[in-house]
Amino acid sequence: MEQAVQVYNFDARQVDILRKTVAAGVPPAEFLVFLEVCKHRRLNPFAREIYAIMRQDKMTVQVSIDGFRKLAERSGNYRGQIGPYFCGPDGVWKEEWLLDTPPTAAKVGVLRDGFDRPIWAVARHNAYVQPTSPTWRKMPDLMLAKCAEALALRKAFPDEMSGLYTHEEMAQAGRPDNDAFKRPVEQPASPIIETTAVAGETVIESEPSVEDISRELLDAPTSEQLDEIGALMKATGKLVTKPRTKQQADGTLIWLRKEAAKAQPIGKE
């Protein structure tokens, strides 16, 4: 770690802070790569100009839109930009988007010294929108404009920004902690939990299954299982909740049969 501090010009305290904040969860080897990128690009991670995100067990270096602008200005060839402009399905470009519905696309033109015309980039809403993001729902035009600006700046300054992407661009890849893009994982039926009722009676409660409705209907307990459960409840005096699946019914029957065996007098055939 001392070598990393010396090479990347961060003291030990700063390295520790980075590992816990803008590079949280990044493995040590990739963390050193991140520090090298910070040095090479001359971007300040403490100002949130650059940070590291783990995606599918791989590190992705992301840069804020302010970091992109800083890189463009530092090149000495940046002459501003035109836009953003927005359009709906009709393809008519407007300087402002005043509708409640999100724009279909946004475009930005970057002016660079030595180029006769602006370098344009277009970002489509469907390509970048994050339906579950409060920011995208509240300010879709602003978020889409950032995507278009990042695209245009990277096209205009490939030496400065090649391989770098903003959070607004990369969010569409799907974060690991984004529940909207996770498929529900089926869990095995929960074990039966024995509790004691207020009146002193033993009650057996089954945890609800997380299987979907169609699967639950197909796996519903049979009438024979339910009849036996009812008979054993009467014989033992135990109360149980109605099982939702065959597997839960089997578990309930195993427990009730054991309780019935305990209640049977010794020596009785």
Q: Mean pLDDT, to the nearest integer, of 197-206?
A: 41
Of 132-136, 199-203, 204-208, 230-234, which gets the smallest average pLDDT? 204-208
What integer pLDDT is reported at residue 109 of this predicted model? 93
> What's the rounded Cα separation, in Å, for the pair 31 and 61?
10
pLDDT-derived band at 88, boundaries 50, 70, 90: very high
Using CA atoms, how far residue 61 sits from 35, 48, 148, 149, 190, in Å, is 10, 12, 19, 18, 41
CB-based contact 70:64 (threshold 8 Å): no
pLDDT of 217 over the 50 cut:
no
pLDDT at 215: 43
Residue type, 138: K
| DSSP assignment letter at 39 | H
More confident residue, 176 or 248: 248
Taking all residues of the chain, what is their mean pLDDT, rounded to a whole number? Answer: 75
Strands across the sheet with 239-240, in order? 193-196, 202-205, 239-240
pTM over 0.75: no
How crowded is residue 219: how many other Cβ atoms within 10 Å of its Cβ? 16
* Furthest C-alpha separation in the chain: 103
Which residues, in sequence order, are CB contacts of 106 under 8 Å at separation 6+? 83, 84, 85, 86, 87, 122, 123, 125, 141, 144, 145, 147, 148
> Among all chains, which residue has been given the structure tokens 């990044």?
26
Determine the pLDDT at residue 219.
Answer: 60
Contact by Cβ (8 Å): 203, 239:
yes
Side-by-side strand order, sheet with 78-87: 93-94, 78-87, 105-112, 119-124
Pick the closest to residue 140 from 180, 171, 177 (CA basis): 171
**Residues 228-238, mean pLDDT to the nearest whole number:** 83
